[in-house]
Structure 1
Amino acid sequence: MERDLVTTGSDAAIHPPATAFRDSHWGSHTYVWPDLESFLANDAPKDGVHAFELTSETGTLTYEFYVRVRPGTPLVAHFHGNAPRRENDLPVITGLGVSSDLDASLFVLSDPVLSLDDTVTLGWHIGPAWLGVHPVTVAVVDHLARVSNAPRVVAWGGSGGGYAALRVARDIDTCVALVWNPQTNVDRYAPEPVDTFRRVAGFVPGFAFTNVRGFNLTHASTTTEFRGTAIVLQERTDWHFRTHLAPMLTVLDPEVDLERLEEEVVSEIGDHLVTVVSHWGQGHAPPPKAVLRQLLAALSSTSDVDLLTIARDTTPLLAAAAALATEVDPFTASPSAPLDDGTDANETPLDTVGQLAERALAGDEEALTDARRAMVSLVELTEADAHAPAARVIATLLYLKASRHHGVDDLDHLRDVLAALFRDVERLMDDDTLRGALALLHVAVQFAPGFGSTELWDTASSRIAALLSAPSDGEGPQDERSDRATWAQVRDFVSGHRPNSSLAALLAETPDSSGPTPS
């Protein structure tokens, strides 16, 4: 078993060694310290997972976290939210897929309360009633920031992790929190996970977190005690907007206009917060990873940062996400139709890729430049976002057509666009919807047989035939037999591009000119 002598702080004393061992779940060395004080006495923490025991008269709790030190850079601290898990899944080390490429020191905490019982999946990084975890976290983060000479701390997380990150920013004046859809008062969250947490963490049934100002970020004391700053991303269709974010904002600024927040997207609230209220998904959906990467990269700069400017710089990505999440039909939307975010479509690059590509095809070369910028954002979105692949495919095909029309020869860029397109095509292979089939028809027509266009056409034809023959009750999102507008587009597309195909003949045999009639 590896053992290390660690030189401590100013007195240069020899500190009792930490024990390192191979963790079968995480796969890296875990450095085990006797206690919190031992870790805080170490001025040169090694990269890897660290752990120590927290004890009280009631019990013992394992505090486990990942550290990576890059001297002189910001310390980026991640807090996870809900963490359903299987056996041996502790510690929960998340967020590295987004943050590991940053030129920054890292701290990732596995919520200690998860080790108490497998039934608890969300603990808000509060800790049990008999041992407060938050003061320990503030001490560890402060220590890591000091020994790494970090110019600032960036605490980030979503939902329950957003709550934890905001609490850290509340208590550390050099901290900027980056959070999305955060809870601000545990009592206002869903009763079942809150009750489970109370039971496992030793709080009395019905314990009111609302009444404890350190736990309640909507408490009046937040106005005077919030020492750091924050960028708060909020999906406007999420119930957290009114139930969690709004009460906190009204504490920080009693005159805040919630309707204006939705209209302006990016807003400054008092001296502490910048809000970004937009639409990138339905309900409690996290923002696209591309947005988080851009914000984290900006906040990880060693130079001074302006939160309002950084937030506004994300609007092209947010506009692209809004275009994919909007209820406007992506197959029929007019090229001049504005986005559903209060922004005029003429204010590029806030347009969708498809809208800009349409303008480029009409001869607008400047629109192609803006389309390329928006396309780069969409390429990033396709890496992890499986939402609305049919809409992205249509937009991407229009962009490729416009690029060919204007003679674009940037092979690296076009290769990235094609890779994104094929990712979405793969997703469409598991999509049984009519719009998914229509998107496959578009791909099949635009690409040569060597790219598998025949197989794509046959797959789409089979799905359309299945929809034509399937019984319909006219109910539910999966029942598309009555979607007459999309059926009309299918008929027009097939008759215009493959009028002699078997699919064209099958569609011609259907009595209803717009689509099959629900039974």
Structure 2
Amino acid sequence: MTNKNFAQWKQLHYLWDSLEHFKNTWDRIPGIHTIQFTSGQKNLDIYVNENIEDASHRAIPIFFSGAISNRTTQLGPFFSGLGMTKKLDLPLIAIADPTLDDDRSLKLGWYLGNATDNLNKNLSETLDTLHQILGKELILVGGSGGGFAALNAGLDTKVSTTTLVWNPQTDIFEYSSRFVKDYLRSQYNFSHDTLRRDDWKKYCRTRTDIATRTSVITASTLLRPRRLVYLQNSGDSHRTDHLLPLWTATTTGELVEGQNLLGHSCGVYIAEFATGHAPPPASLIGSVLHELMDPDIDVKEIDSLKEFS
């Protein structure tokens, strides 16, 4: 807990000794909830806002965080989506990345953890539990590294979900080598010499991919969620390095500027939402999220995106 400051969020903090304890006892109480898992596995910190108790909402946004800037001056847990959901008066569950818990120098962990902490399984079971308790559709939300986490989590949940991502990574090894190597050093203890090898990506992947999923480049990623909205800046290198391989793995159709639909449930939108890898305007993301809160709306019917069709 030395790398965390729960008091900064000005919320009551609850500690649960297991996911089963949380499932059987939590009664939609707002605050920060820390769920403990088997010894040696990372805890999950979850921020729940006060709107979780509003029965009028038919879906629940689940926010995943991307890279943390100025990490050396900040203590976790790190939560995203608070400002947006407050402005829109929406419920929120934000999950902090426990990969960052034990290393204050690490800025990005993609919610992957290490070789022994079973984070993928614990995260997916937590999402399934939240669905069972709340009885509402989960909307997995994130950008960049948080977008990877949202896509990755959508592959493992037993319940159907909606996914909203922007400029996500789809293969972490194809992201900035500085962030990737920092993660590999921190969570897998790869040496500096190993990470200087010409074949470091191939060499390291043989070890990491035994324990976790570092790539979501599979047809299931776009097609498994009940609904999916994928926003990609046209001038971002992620368009070529991350979106195109995922699209090619899914369909033989051409990936074009503007709207790319796969049926009524999946929409990939390429436009100059923002410069380079910067996130699209919060107003656009918020508008799309607000419309997705209606589980009956098809992706192609989202008014906020019709200008890109």
Q: Give the structure 2 partner of residue 61 of structure 1.
A: 42
Q: Give the structure 2 partner of residue 291 of structure 1.
A: 284
SS in 1 for 2:83: helix
Q: Give the structure 1 partner of residue 293 of structure 2.
A: 300
Tell me, yes or no, if the aligned pair for 2:6 and 2:76 is still in contact at 8 Å: no
**Distance in 2 of aligned mates of 1:223 and 1:288:** 23
Seen in structure 2, the aligned counterparts of structure 1 residues 269 and 300 have a Cα distance that, compared at 3 Å, is same
Q: Give the structure 1 partner of residue 80 of structure 2.
A: 94
Check if 1:158 corresponds to 2:143: yes
1:114-263 alignment, distance < 5 Å: 114-150=100-136, 152-172=137-157, 173-202=159-188, 204=190, 206-208=203-205, 214-219=213-218, 222=221, 226-253=224-251, 255-258=252-255, 261-262=256-257
Q: Give the structure 2 partner of residue 329 of structure 1.
A: none
Q: Give the structure 1 partner of residue 58 of structure 2.
A: 73
SS in 2 for 1:120: coil
TM-score when scaled to structure 1? 0.51
1:401-420 alignment, distance < 5 Å: none
**Distance in 1 of aligned mates of 2:91 and 2:174:** 34
Seen in structure 2, the aligned counterparts of structure 1 residues 88 and 62 have a Cα distance that, compared at 3 Å, is farther
SS in 1 for 2:267: strand
Q: Give the structure 1 partner of residue 198 of structure 2.
A: none
Q: CA deviation at 1:221?
A: 6.1
Please give the root-mean-square deviation of Cα atoms over the aligned residues, in Å: 2.6
Larger-Rg structure = 1
Q: Which amino acid counterpart does residue 198 of structure 1 have in structure 2? A: L
SS in 2 for 1:313: helix
Check if 1:309 corresponds to 2:291: no
Seen in structure 2, the aligned counterparts of structure 1 residues 106 and 147 have a Cα distance that, compared at 3 Å, is same
Q: CA deviation at 1:171?
A: 2.9
Structure 2: 5+ residue runs without aligned partners?
195-202
Tell me, yes or no, if the aligned pair for 1:82 and 1:160 is still in contact at 8 Å: yes
**Distance in 1 of aligned mates of 2:286 and 2:221:** 28
SS in 2 for 1:83: coil
Q: Which amino acid counterpart does residue 97 of structure 1 have in structure 2? A: G
**Distance in 1 of aligned mates of 2:9 and 2:161:** 28
Structure 1: 5+ residue runs without aligned partners?
1-21, 319-342, 344-519
SS in 1 for 2:253: coil
**Distance in 2 of aligned mates of 1:34 and 1:285:** 39
Q: CA deviation at 1:43?
A: 4.5
SS in 1 for 2:9: coil
1:14-33 alignment, distance < 5 Å: 23-33=6-16
SS in 2 for 1:277: strand
Seen in structure 2, the aligned counterparts of structure 1 residues 48 and 252 have a Cα distance that, compared at 3 Å, is same
**Distance in 1 of aligned mates of 2:151 and 2:106:** 22
Tell me, yes or no, if the aligned pair for 2:163 and 2:225 is still in contact at 8 Å: no
Q: CA deviation at 1:149?
A: 2.0
- CA displacement 1:89-121 (0-9 Å, x = unmatched): 211122111122445432101110111111111
Q: Which amino acid counterpart does residue 105 of structure 1 have in structure 2? A: P
Tell me, yes or no, if the aligned pair for 1:169 and 1:229 is still in contact at 8 Å: no
Q: Which amino acid counterpart does residue 126 of structure 1 have in structure 2? A: L
Seen in structure 2, the aligned counterparts of structure 1 residues 220 and 304 have a Cα distance that, compared at 3 Å, is closer
Q: CA deviation at 1:285?
A: 1.4
Q: CA deviation at 1:134?
A: 2.2
**Distance in 1 of aligned mates of 2:213 and 2:225:** 13
TM-score when scaled to structure 2? 0.83
Q: CA deviation at 1:132?
A: 2.3
Q: Which amino acid counterpart does residue 306 of structure 1 have in structure 2? A: D
**Distance in 2 of aligned mates of 1:216 and 1:270:** 24
How many residue pairs match? The answer is: 286
Percent identity over paired residues: 28
**Distance in 2 of aligned mates of 1:211 and 1:202:** 11
Q: Which amino acid counterpart does residue 110 of structure 2 have in structure 1? A: W
SS in 2 for 1:314: helix
SS in 2 for 1:122: coil
Seen in structure 2, the aligned counterparts of structure 1 residues 103 and 136 have a Cα distance that, compared at 3 Å, is farther
Seen in structure 2, the aligned counterparts of structure 1 residues 211 and 116 have a Cα distance that, compared at 3 Å, is closer
Q: CA deviation at 1:40?
A: 2.4
